[in-house]
Amino acid sequence: MNPVKHPLLGDTLYTETHKSGLRVVVWPMPEASSVYAVFATKYGSINNILPTADGGTEEVPEGIAHYLEHKLFESEQGDAFRQFAQTGASANAYTTFDRTAYLFHASENILPSLEILLNFVQDPYFTPETVQKEQGIIGQEIRMGEDMPGRRVLFNMLGGLFHNHPVRVDIAGTVESIAKITPELLYRCYYRHYNLHNMVLVVAGCIKPEEVMDACDRLLKPAEAWEPDHYVVEEPATVAQEYVEDAMAVAAPLFYIGFKEPVVSHTPKTLAGARMLIDLICGKSSPLYSRLLEEGLINDQFEVEYFGGPDYGIWLFGGESADPKRVKDMIADEIARLQQEGLDAAAVEAVRRGAYGRLVAGLDDPSDCGELILSHLVDGVEPLSELNALAEITLDELTEQLHARFDVKACTLSVVNPL
């Protein structure tokens, strides 16, 4: 493997594209007492178009990536969770808009656990009976999600922001959409997207790079060359709805304010810029955050976040408030003010130090290290390059991003009021 010593952290990462096509990154942490491993594919809920044998395309049922995640743990040899239980590893999986990840955390029997992970993700097994059984299980999960106010207010906002982009659809799909899923369709999605050229393996903790590569040499099945699907969705710059309102059993109104970002290409500096701009606008050290607190418009549940993926980006502000519309207006006014008056150099440096410190502080935990590397790989940037960008991004570059990435008119306010 190729050792790369990070100039700021001093840690050495080992990277290699395995002969099977899989990108492998190992972060040895001799002082750690455990290992975190994640085996992921760049396939999530927004990948809802599948090529057909005749050169055309078809739209697959909403929620199929999440459904596939559930089903992959089953095989003819039994449930992978039971195999992990025998090694003492804690295993899990998750599906997001742009990835599906399978993982374990273990402090003993690490190599046997790694073998289980590599084996079951490469071994799909779907039958009509097991697929039908899972429809009932995931259907119940979907219904439970519909009763969660936090989930409702988020996806109402996404539905308001986007006209056509599949990020507007719940990752789990609907009861009606998953009823259309068949074993044949699962196999087609699996073999299209679970190609090792489209996947990554990240291992962090008390493990040696040669141990990981030895497991890869023994267990990975060579994959044919893979070309990514990229189907452009016709998405207007405007929002579908500026205001979405609902009512549920909540103690106080919940809200999400979303600003729809013009499409940008992910680079280390856009990732670093997102961390800094969201804090400059309304992070906990910002003047606006203090004003909102003093006026009683938000409480300690308030949160800010940026997330983006292929062809979309969203700036999120959310929490509880008796007057969400006033909060939205104040945030939009602050963005417009910063665009007009410019960023304060001292504030930029303070935010830079804070963002860098928070990022580095989490890097003594193997799971945080593994997830950060995975996020960078899925975003198409080199591991830990965001750290370098945080240190290097200039005031002028950040100012340029502030103007290019925010349109205060492209905003949706989603509110869930008490019944």
Q: What residues are labeled active site?
A: 69
- Stated as kind and residue range, the H or E segment containing 89 is none
From CA 175, how far away is CA 62, in angstroms rounded? Answer: 10
Classify strands 23-28 and 199-205 as parallel, antiparallel or unpaired. Answer: parallel
User: Encoding tokens for residue 212?
Assistant: 């990981």
Question: 77 to each of 82, 83, 84, 119, 125, how far by Cα in Å?
Answer: 10, 10, 13, 11, 10
Strand spans (E) along 283-369: 303-309, 312-320
At residue 316, φ and ψ (nearest 5 deg) are: -110, 135
From CA 25, how far away is CA 86, in angstroms rounded? Answer: 26
At residue 86, φ and ψ (nearest 5 deg) are: -70, -25
From CA 239, how far away is CA 156, in angstroms rounded? Answer: 12
From CA 90, how far away is CA 6, in angstroms rounded? Answer: 29
Query: Which residue intervals of 73-196 are DSSP H helices?
Result: 80-87, 110-121, 128-146, 149-161, 175-178, 183-193
From CA 220, how far away is CA 118, in angstroms rounded? Answer: 7
Of the candidates 233, 27, 66, the residue with the CA atom closest to the CA atom of residue 145: 66
Q: Which long-range contacts (CB under 8 A, 24 or more apart) does 80-87 make?
A: 80/116, 80/120, 83/116, 83/120, 84/113, 84/116, 87/112, 87/113, 87/116
Contact 237, 410 (CB under 8 A): yes
Max Cα distance, the chain (Å): 64
